[in-house]
Every structure is written in structure tokens, then in C-alpha cells.
Amino acid sequence: MTSTEIGNLFSVKGRTALVTGGTSGIGLMSAKGLVTNGARVYVCGLESDPIADVEKELNELGKSSGGSAYGFPCDLTSKEGIEAVSTQLRSHESHLDILISNAGIRRDPPIPCNPLTASLTELQTSLWSSKHEDWTRSFQINTMAHYYLSVALLDLLVAAGDIDMPDGSKGRDHGRGVVVVTSSIASLHNATNVDMMSYASTKAATDHLVSLLAAKFARWYVRVVGINPGFVPSNMNPMGTGKGADIFGDLVQKVPAKRAGETDDLAGIILFLVSKAGAYVDGRCIAIDGGRTLFANGQV
């Protein structure tokens, strides 16, 4: 098989991955893409998440390719919780090829409004209703957790990059030893009729964190990259109902692609970034939004 054949270029077979927030949404989509292509995937989520069910589903998907999954609960709100994730992983593995640092939360103002049509009083009241602790927790999960988790697992990522490959190259030349951080296109636009101030601020910080971490890890070429998904259905972002937590209404239909993101869309970009195909991509974020950001600013 030549180096540019798909089976070699995008291969993740036999690689070890950790996916945080892997029981639903983008995390689960990423885990499915990895396990169905032969990776050994560790999935962590909240204790209340259906971890056992997801583990079973992923192991079923991985049967034909040799992929496997192991699920466990995690708490990413503290250094102690993140250290526990590191300890759990180290009890099984001596290196980590892929870290999908995906877990995230969204906390909307308790008093909502449409920023494009609200009166001054309505807008000020809505913005002021945001809870201070919601901002703090959002930064803990959406930004700080990516930092501490990447640092906690750095030596395992370096070990993956140092693996001697059959062709005489190193693992890093084949994409091993990579962190993929989930950001959002909310960091790339600033004026829509959806109010996600704390969420968007954490994601903008996350985008910069990607390049900061990549620069710090550069001597070992542990790559750090980000993805900025657009509308992708998840427990955090339900779509299609127009009710309750589904704050997006008909915005999905204003995306040039005329649809939300799907498993193949997310799995495809993940497989590119973590394989030999993406081994020369470092310190940058990639938008996967169906063209949403082309028209997002000022959209009504």
C-alpha cells in the first residue's frame, strides 16, 4: 500500500484515544469515527450519562475493525478531577495517540431576549440576569479543562509521537500525539438573534488556547488543533423542536448547506486531523459549519 492510499493516509487502526464528553453529540460522533476505524477509545462523561450503554454501542460498532471502547465517569471542573482521568488512563496505557478534549457546557441567560429586536431595558435585563457562577463554570469546562487535561497527559502524548514506525519514521510523522479541542463557530461571529455571551466568550478563549498550547508543546511536536462546529445536534444543543432548550429556531435553514452537521461531517474532520493525513496541521482551528459563518453576523 502506497503512502497516499486512503487505508494508509487516514488510518487510526490500533491507536489509543481519549474522548471527553463522549456520550453524546460531537464527542460521541468523534468516538464512533475512531472506533469504527479500529481505534481503542476511552470515553468519559458525567456520572449521570449513559456511559455503559455508549460503551456497549461503540464496542458493537468496532467489532469488524478491531476497535474497542471503555467508558468511565469524569469530573473536569477541578484539577483533582482531571488528575483522576489521567490516573485512570495511565492504569491501562503507556502512551496516548489522540486526545479529543470535547466536553463543554452552555449556560444561557435565565431571562432570554432577542438581541436584535429587544428594547434597551429588555436587553439590559436579559444580560444582567446571567449568573456569575454560570460564567465561572463555563470557563472551567469550556476552556480551563482543555488546558489542564492537555498538560496532565502531555508525557503520554509525547510517548505516542516518539513511537518507532515500521518505515523508520516516528509516530508524530503519522499524526500520533495530537490534541483536538472542540470550540465552536460561536467564537467566530458576534451578532445573531441567539444570545450565548458566556458560551461564545469561552470558545473565543479556547481558540487562542489552541495556538498557545501548540506553541508550548512545539519542541516535542505534540500537535494541538481545534474544530469550530456549527449547528450539530446534542443534548446541549437540541435542534428541530423549536421549544425549550432549542433556542435556534429556523436558523439551521439559513445555513448554506440547509442542514445541521451529522456524524460523518464530524468523524471525517477528526479522522483527518488525527491521522497521517493531518500530521502537518498544528496550532489552528477548522470551522465545520456548512457555511454558517458566511452570513451569521447581523442575521435575523
Interval 29-54: pLDDT, tens? 999 999 999 999 999 999 999 999 99
Distance CA 25, CA 182 (A): 11
Using a 10 angstrom Cβ sphere, with 0-12 exposed, 13-18 middle and 19 or more buried, the burial of residue 126 is: buried
Query: pLDDT over 90 for what percent of the chain?
Result: 77
Instruction: Find the mean pLDDT for residues 157-172.
Output: 96
Least confident range of 6-15, 77-86, 286-295: 286-295
Compute the mean pLDDT over every residue in the chain, rounded to the nearest whole number: 91
- What cell numbers appear for 67 in the block? 476497535
For the chain, the structural domain boundaries read: 6-294
Q: How many C-beta neighbours within 10 Å does residue 10 have? A: 17
Give pLDDT, residue 244. 55
CA angle 22, 200, 290 (to 5 degrees): 70
The pLDDT confidence band at residue 287, using thresholds 50, 70 and 90, is: very high
Please, what's the largest Cα pairwise distance for the chain?
A: 66
Phi then psi for 229, rounded to 5 degrees? -70, 150
pLDDT of residue 190: 75
Q: Which residues pair with 179 in a beta bridge?
A: 99, 224
pLDDT of residue 192: 62
- Quick one: which of 142, 133, 198 has its CA closest to 21? 142
Query: Please, what's the b/e burial string for 273-296 (b: 16 or more CB within 10 A of its CB; e: otherwise)?
Result: bbbbbbbeebbebbbbbbebbeeb
252 and 147 Cβ atoms separated by less than 8 Å:
no
For residue 300, the model assigns a pLDDT of: 45
Mean of the pLDDT values across residues 120-126?
A: 95
Given pLDDT bands bounded at 50, 70 and 90, which one contains residue 235?
A: low
For residue 285, the cross-strand partners are 226
The stretch 141-157 carries a mean pLDDT of 98
User: How deeply is 112 buried, as exposed, middle or buried, from its count of CB atoms within 10 A (0-12, 13-18, 19+)?
Assistant: middle
- Edge to edge, the sheet with strand 16-20 lists 68-73, 40-45, 16-20, 98-101, 178-182, 223-229, 285-288
pLDDT at 236: 60
pTM value is 0.93
238 band by pLDDT with thresholds 50, 70 and 90: low
Integer Cα distance of 158 and 58 in angstroms: 27
Tell the CATH topology of 6-294. Rossmann fold (3.40.50)
Q: Mean pLDDT across the stretch 174-178?
A: 98
> In the predicted model, what is the mean pLDDT of residues 60-75?
97
Instruction: Flag whether pLDDT at 79 surpasses 70.
Output: yes
Dihedral of the CA atoms 191, 193, 197, 203 (nearest 10)? -70
Per DSSP, the residues of 31-87 read HHHHHTTT-EEEEEE-TTS-HHHHHHHHHHHTTTTT-EEEEEE---SSHHHHHHHHH
